[in-house]
Amino acid sequence: MLYRNRNFALLAALGIFISGCGFEPLYVEKKTDSEWYYDSEFDTGIKEEMASVKVELIRDRIGQLIRNDLLDKLTPKGAPKSPKYYLKVTKIDKEEIDQALRNDITATRKKVIYRVSYVLQDREHQKLVSGNSTAYLGYDILRDPYSTTFAQKKNEKNAAKIIANDISLRLGAYFHSLQTKRGNPDEY
């Protein structure tokens, strides 16, 4: 019983904290100052704006993976016929750091950092927003080379998902700030 009361108190405190910090749902249209979910009708304006983004081709294998994940997130129904926006990934850096060294100074683990820069442009190719996304991952170096190669490929796929998710969330926040006229669109 004490455990349930404590959980309820924590949930109530979290609700008060979130309401005080200016949190508001990303995909909900605010019709009045006091209403949030409006009979389960969600705002599709942001979804429509995100679906009008054309994701440009990205070099290298990691770029292809990022692009495919971005297409799944931004334009799940297919590429826009007449895009309003163009998303370009301008730079991809990969850094590998040896960790967990053995007595013979060979690594048993690698830490991998992917850094990606992107730019969202309008039809006239004017920059609307730009940013950076970073993914921190790691994998074990095993005695079997096939297992290590498999771990590297899995790591690359996971990095692409993390980066695509980050970019799509930032673009959603950008479009939300434009539609609600709240916040600074240049921060995303």
State the residue range of the domain holding 158: 44-187
Mean residue pLDDT across the chain: 83
Q: 130: domain CATH number?
A: 3.30.160.150
Question: Residue 82 has what DSSP assignment?
Answer: S
Residue 26 domain-assigned?
Answer: no
- 28 has a pLDDT exceeding 60: no
Residue 161 domain-assigned?
Answer: yes
Number of domains in the chain: 1
pLDDT at 39: 44
pTM, 2 dp: 0.76
Rounded Cα gap, residues 15 and 109, in angstroms: 41
Burial 78-90 (b: 16+ CB within 10 A, else e): eeeeebebbbbbe
pLDDT digit string, tens, across residues 2-21: 556 677 677 666 666 655 55
> Tokens 């004490």 belong to which residue?
2
pLDDT digit string, tens, across residues 71-117: 999 998 888 899 999 999 999 999 999 887 777 777 789 999 999 99
